[in-house]
Amino acid sequence: MFSQLKPLPTDPILGLMAAFKADTNDKKIDLGVGVYKDEQGQTPVLKAVKKAEEFRLANETTKSYIGLAGNLEYCQKMEQLLLGDAHPALLADRVRTAQAPGGTGSLRVAAEFIKRCNEQATVWVTTPTWANHISLFEAAGLNVKEYPYYDYDNKGLLFDDMVNTLSQVPAGDVVLLHACCHNPSGMDLNFAQWQKVAEIAKVQGFTVLVDIAYQGFGTSLDEDAAGLRHLASQVDELIICSSCSKNFGLYRERIGACSVISKDQATADIANSVMLSVVRSIYSMPPAHGADIVNTILSSDELTAMWHQELDDMRSRINGLRSLLKDKLNDKCEGMDFSFIERQHGMFSFLGINKEQIERLQKEYSIYIVGSSRVNVAGVSKDNIDYFADAVAAVTK
């Protein structure tokens, strides 16, 4: 059986990770992998997480299974974090949530759930979108199409084109939106644009799936979820895939959630039964550790305040780097304008350089970015930013 298999290409980002690790240049910079890094180039464990883990170690009494939906207190806390404490959908008991193994796990649960709802559904994603979105939905047997989003020429949004395309998406299809800190472009919808999309969704009758993997990394926890919350107040049905990898720094704990909002309580119960059936068929029950950490933090005023401060510090560092990076590149790269970097949100941005220049950055300067020119801004530091800017200026002359 195995002899019939053909080798598949290595994921580009995983390949970059391996090449970076093997590089012996002490000036090497990794801007490819999408994890937060501090000034020392490390991805630290948050202090609030450390304290929550100490509490868990001292108070855990069992290693038994936690059920298909996972930690129910965690699920409730995530609903409140995403939607706010008094959102109409929560007050009407229209929301059901299942803990999932990371944001990727929540997306796969959503994909299989969509398949159960409508086998012929097409999922519409932004051009471009997170590299794994398309393969996740296709692996579940769903059709995938793209709609215009990022304007590569003007470093902004193709919102009029986006509206024109979404206005033709039929009922029964699903439209995926990034809640904030769009991966890979960093360009987000403003609130007025979210309102317009909500209007289109109501008229057309398609279902929206919101991927929210960076809440708190853009402007604030509440502002980053403002578009999502408005949408959830306007439509009868909504799917939300969330992740705690970035804002809690729990990458390797693989903790996320899949939430479905239905038109009423009875329909929500039915949707929940289908979602839990999907969970049972994929991984049966989620791991406990990450959900317990998040629940412990969000159940404690002291730890929540500590987490808020650490999240504010991470966001401030990224936004500060965006401004500094814009200044350095504009100063060193004659005839080029990188002002767009400062207008974007989250960790990612397209530099807008070509593949030959990207290859030169890696070969001549040991600077690693993916072929689309997406950079992880958090991979830059005050110690290496001049080296990076000088290298970009050299390859773009």
Q: Is 307 a catalytic residue?
A: no
* Active-site residue (options: 37, 124, 130, 332): 130
CA distance 375 to 301: 35
Per DSSP, the three-state class of 373 is coil
8 Å CB contact between 254 and 105: yes
Count of CB atoms situated within 10 Å of the CB of 54: 11
Backbone angles phi, psi at 335, to 5 degrees: 80, 5
CA distance 91 to 270: 18
Nearest to 37 by CA among 382, 380, 323: 380
* Active-site residue (options: 30, 173, 188, 211): 211
Nearest to 396 by CA among 226, 367, 221, 376: 367
Nearest to 282 by CA among 102, 81, 90, 161: 102
Q: Is 161 a catalytic residue?
A: no
* Active-site residue (options: 246, 326, 328, 332): 246
Angle at 64 between CA 62 and CA 69, to 5 degrees: 120
Read off the amino acid at residue 141. G
Q: Is 211 a catalytic residue?
A: yes
| Alpha carbon 261 to its chain's center | 20
Angle formed by the axes of helices 289-298 and 72-83, nearest 10°: 60
Pairing of strands 143-148, 150-151: unpaired
Backbone angles phi, psi at 128, to 5 degrees: -90, 180
Catalytic residue ranges: 130, 211, 246
